[in-house]
Amino acid sequence: MSTDNYPLSGLKVLDLSRVLAGPFAGRMLSDLGADVVKIEPPDGDITRLWGHVIAGISGYYHQQNAGKRNVCIDLRADGAKELLYELVAEADILIENYRPDVMPRLGLGYDALKVINPRLIMLSISGFGHNGPESHRAAYAPIIHAEAGLTFRQAERSALPYSELPLSVADTNASLHGLVGLLAAVIHRHNTGVGQHIDIAMLDATVATDDQIHFDLEGANASNQPRIAAWETGAGPILVSADARYFWHCLSRKGLVVDPTTKDMLVEEKIPLRKSAMANFMAGLSSLEEVESSMGSMNLAWGRVGNPTEIQDQQTIRSRGSIIEIDDRAGGTRPVTQSPYRFSGAKSGVRGPAPHRGEHNAEILAEWLKKSPADIETLKQAAILHAEE
């Protein structure tokens, strides 16, 4: 697919990462026009086992690797590291998300790679960053959610037991901060000619993106923050962006409810009666049009509590093409999230399905390294290159 008028057209990216934090950054680079080549071991990214499988590709892997090409290299084989060095010499960017000791142990640390390619920009994403007291620790998103206080806060505010968040926000935060770092480094290299190593800790990225952290850092009471609640209506559950006190104020000021309390009642007696009146008002709204009209009259933001299995039917999602259907490689299509970037004078967007392991071995080695078919066959025979049947 042509990348004419894509902002990152011409950038060559080696994606050595796996699961989510690294692959998501690579996916966004691909959506923006970069040539992203996933370097995958013969046993594959573990996410190839996650989700619905179509044409040998799982849904989770497809989501994070759509639009990339794939070279499958066994780095344990003699000569494999040298092949990767050749690719590094041609690359603009390399992404990895192993523990900090892994890449140097393989001879693939930044200090080694910058000798081969001084212009290389390398993004390393790890749980606790490089050179810190906990750098050695393995970390996935739930671990960082716990360490960063998100798990505690969720339990405290919901009065529920400690539990995992329903999305891997620590991974995606680190990935997006890594993406910002990469693009900044590309500009820096344009100005200086020098590459860069970007060390992103998932813990740093999560804390930096936590809009509630100032309450905890300063010992402030967060009780003045709205406790958002959902209410049952005839049009389904509706979340109103106001705490109960302010919602009651808006409803009573507009004369939409009758106060069931008296002046001589205690606050503890008033609260349940007023909440019951609010619930009755919401239950009486029989359509989304009535919900929108009543919330609009009070200048309150609201939202449907949607089932994610029906997200494609959400009006804005459908209108903006936020989820599109692309080739499923089995004669049909499958849904995938679209690039969120909308440019006035440039293109972005997913550029194809996710690759099989080793699908582009010959293509990439011929394009990037000018390898002949005989060269590629030699690499196969040496068990350096692998490919799915």
Residue pair 123/25 in contact by the 8 Å Cβ criterion: yes
Q: What one-character DSSP code corresponds to residue 311?
A: G
Residues with Cβ within 8 Å of 137's Cβ and at least 6 positions away in sequence, in order, are: 99, 127, 128, 143
Question: Taking Cα atoms as reference points, which of 230, 235, 226, 241 lies closest to residue 295?
Answer: 241
Residue with tokens 């960017």: 93
Compute CA 242 distance to the chain's CA centroid, rounded to the nearest angstrom.
28
d(CA 71, CA 41): 9
Decide if 171 is catalytic.
yes
Between the CA of residue 284 and those of 66, 232, 235, 291, what are the distances in Å?
45, 9, 10, 10
Q: What one-character DSSP code corresponds to residue 353?
A: P
CA angle 309, 313, 319 (to 5 degrees): 135
Catalytic residue of the set 31, 171, 199, 204: 171
First CA to last CA across the chain, in angstroms? Answer: 24
DSSP 251-298: HHHTT-S-----TTS-HHHHHHHHHHHHHHHHHT--SHHHHHHHHHHT
Catalytic machinery residues: 171
